[in-house]
Amino acid sequence: MEELTGEQVAQLHREHVMQPWHKQGGDVTAISKADGIYFWDYAGKRYADMSSLLVCSNLGHELPEIVDAIKAQADRMCFMSPAYATEPKSRLAEKLVEVAGADFYQRVFFTNGGADANENAIKMARMVTGRAKILSCYRSYHGATYAASNASGDWRRFAAETGGSLPGFVHFMNANMYENGYTRGVDDAEVTADYLQRLEEQLQYEGPTSVAAIILESVVGANGVILPPKGYLEGIRALCDKYGILMICDEVMSGFARTGKMFAWQNFDIQPDMFSFAKGVTCGYVPLGGVVVSKAISDYFCDNVLQCGLTYSGHTLACAAGVATMDYYAEHDVCAHVLEMEAILKPYLESMQAKHRCVGEARCIGLFAALTIVKNKETRELMSPYHDAHSVMPTIMGKLMEKGFATFGRESNINICPPLTITEEQLREELPKLDEVLTWVDENLCN
């Protein structure tokens, strides 16, 4: 087959591919290859992947250990029905339970990705409790399937609500200390008490015995790496225990060493009843997701039929990639490396907050970080109001892309979430590009 040029690839994409979350037919960059923390377009321009694509390429691109595992499994058996046990699926489930904590967790339900992981966690919560309502945060994203969309809080749920939202989905406002006018590390106790009081009051109005689960991101991801105030997740765990509600943590973006722990919820004094995962379990090399469930939930489904199923649940090739990925995290102590890189990234981003008029707040846990971009630092006026149809943020992202600093953001946030394999030298090479663009924003877009 004749190899296509970059322009031919881009043109075919514009004509025939439905681009997620975009109007169709617009400009697109054709990518020819990727390796490590970098990828290249057809003109040979190199981009540093400073967002791990969609915060999924945790171990970078074309890692030999994962690629070789996929090749070896492909030679043996690519796929087997979920009804049968396979070595990759069995091994991966065991590894996931072990790193989560085998004293509390028991089994894994495998899915194709993060959205259907959350979808099936919601179904299981309703089956186990016999209750219907699912509470979730406005500042959240849980996926684009129907129930996951309705559980999501940001504007990407709107299309799924055409003609009305699904019954039983209720949203509550979660804390965003900077945008709510508070100072992190100073006002945490006040914010936590306030938001927990509001949530408990809302539970009373909804009827707590009708609520099956509260689902929330351990650290809010796509909406700006919003760190929970101290004690907040512990307080939600206590409310769940008080009213017999299941706690589901969405670890799709924040899991697998991203925060310096294998799972982000392990940074807090909680154990969710279930948590969803995807992305970093295979680093996107093959699609895979799932739900890790507690022993109590696992035991329930020993006596009751699990009414969840997917043709590709525990896909053999994907699980082989997952085993290799999990082995790499452990054998290379990726969590420790992440904390070493955090010691470089976090103070740098804080220096950007101090230096630039456009940076309202810097947030960083592990290699999971974001900047809130503002027009006016004194008033905390955001650069782009929520769901702004005329946002300038794409222009800012374009400036970064021009410099070979590839990342994404939403609303007024710039996310900085590089592959966890990034070296100190690479990090120090790329961060000045961010500084240069922020200087441009100061000079052209700030009041």
Confidence check: pLDDT of 179 > 80: yes
Q: Determine the pLDDT at residue 386.
A: 85
Give percent of the chain above pLDDT 70.
Answer: 100
- What does the block give as tokens for 168? 């039983």
Report, as an integer, the average pLDDT of 293-319.
Answer: 98
Kindly state the helix (H) or strand (E) to which residue 87 belongs, with its residue range.
helix 87-100
Q: How confident is the model at residue 390 (pLDDT cuts 50, 70, 90)?
A: confident
Report the pLDDT value the prediction gives residue 137, as an integer from 0 to 100.
98
Residue 85: how many CB atoms within 10 A of its CB? 9
Give the pLDDT band (50/70/90) at residue 194.
very high
Reported as a single tens digit per residue, the pLDDT across 65-75 is 999 999 999 99
Retrieve residue 183's tokens: 């100072």
DSSP-derived secondary structure letter, 156: G
- Indicate yes or no: pTM above 0.95: yes
Please check the confidence at residue 162 and state whether its pLDDT lies above 90.
no
Amino acid 229: pLDDT:
98
- Would you say residue 389 has pLDDT above 80? no
pLDDT at 387: 82
pLDDT in tens, 15-26: 999 999 889 999
Residue 433: exposure state from Cβ atoms within 10 A (0-12, 13-18, ≥19): middle
pLDDT category of residue 360 using cuts at 50, 70 and 90 = very high
Domains of the chain: 6-62+333-445 (3.90.1150.10), 66-332 (3.40.640.10)
Q: How far is CA 25 from CA 18, 41, 42, 398, in A?
A: 9, 19, 19, 18
